[in-house]
Amino acid sequence: MLNWDDPIAAVKGRAPDTTDAPRTPAPEGRPQPAAPEAAREPAQPAPTADTAAPAPAEQTAGAPATRETDTLQPGAIPTPADLKPVNPDDKRVINGLTDINQLAPFKYPWAWEYFLNANKNHWTPLDINMNQDVHDYHHKLTVEERHVYENVLSYLTTSDILAMRNIGLAVMEKMSAPELQIYQARQVYEESLHTWTYQHCIESIGLDQGEIYNRYRVVPEINHKIQIANRRLDSVLRPDIDLRDPDELANFVMAYLFFAAVFEGTWFYNGFSPIFALQRRGLMKGTAEQLQYIMRDEVLHASFGLRVVKQIIKEENITLDPKAVREMWDEAEAAEAAYARFLLPDPILGYSAEQHIEQFRFIANRRARKLDLEEPFPGAENALPWLDEQANLRKEKNFFETRVTEYQTGGALSWD
């Protein structure tokens, strides 16, 4: 069984080869190509104290850095002899100087495993039959249950676009190891697929798209969560950001931590559970199955993000500000509690606002432990013990009612 909080934990014994590969010699009798004329500079006499060249000026912030593995002088035309093989030990998550276009040797083989694993959870919303959901919504759901269903979709549609923009525009271009960027490119695709899924549910049910999509602007409890995420995103979505600056770096790490631990790691998790509560009672099963596939992606996103944050903390020798982390969790909890009480002013059968809030705290503790941080909500209990099983995709399917979308990976979810 895969552990979806750390699905790559089983990958061991794949340490990358960090030795420089020897350059292949030219075949016997074939001369090596001559260096370009520009590279054949006459030898210069060693500088004396009177003629020593001045020290180079400090590199301008944002200017391209010279790569540690290159031997080129500024302005020279590169030749194969000028470039050393990439040493994976020189790679870094951010502020790295190795060739971003060369995938291997890996320094972060776990990132490549995330990419391979993600590709085994592939589907489209058209694979899942929504006919019963149409009937359930119009003929079986109560007014309170329709309120829950509509507002869950309203929140999720906006949230996945935010998650896509965060990874695609604010995070991915700051990574300096290609194996990280490749998984994040897959993540951008998945967020787009999730948005399509919500749109497909809205269209299938026949909801008013303009009204559903606009709720995040007019419902304060939804808008507040979106504005918290927008504030974090805007703080790092700037062309002048310089991650060599300690303050900028600390802010970037906190923004990445927020999206991994809170936005995707807890808010999304709680965003799905009201629909799973309906599914337990045999209602809206098509929508719930769509969300089961999305949940697999989101748990990987959260797990990957937390692992990247942990790696940055190690490489850049950062200590997270305990006050900033505490404020992040408190703000997230207050926003989630307000949202839960708007979503569930009165309980629906099998689900209440109090359960929703307690489950947020329980999952928040789980995310904090992944970073070896203090649990933000000690003593929080698993308010939805059925949720892990409910999210399990390994269920009997009627061949004539649904397409076979089961893949070899992740037949069962294990949240620890």
> pTM of the full predicted structure?
0.76
Q: In whole numbers, what is the pLDDT of the chain averaged over residues?
A: 81
pLDDT at 379: 96
The two structure tokens encoding residue 322: 């305990």
Q: Considering the chain, what percentage of its residues have pLDDT values greater than 70?
A: 74
CB atoms within 10 A of CB 377: 17
Output 18 or 232, whichever has higher pLDDT: 232
pLDDT, tens only, 85-119: 777 777 888 888 888 788 888 899 999 999 999 99
pLDDT at 393: 56
pLDDT, tens only, 244-285: 999 999 999 999 999 999 999 999 988 899 999 999 999 999
Cβ burial 283-313 (10 Å sphere, 16+ → b, else e): bbbbbbbbbbbbbbbbbbbbbbbbbbbbbbb
Residue 34, CA atoms < 13 Å, CB-side half-sphere: 4
Q: Does the pLDDT at position 145 exceed 50?
A: yes
Output 123 or 60, whichever has higher pLDDT: 123
Pick the closest to residue 375 from 331, 325, 337 (CA basis). Answer: 325
CA distance 253 to 207: 39
Q: Does the pLDDT at position 2 exceed 50?
A: no
Under a CB-based contact definition with an 8 Å cutoff, are residues 263 and 257 in contact? Answer: no
User: Averaged over 175-195, what is the pLDDT?
Assistant: 94
pLDDT at 383: 95
Residue 394: pLDDT band with limits 50, 70, 90: low
Which of 96-110, 138-152, 328-342 shows the lowest mean pLDDT across its residues?
96-110
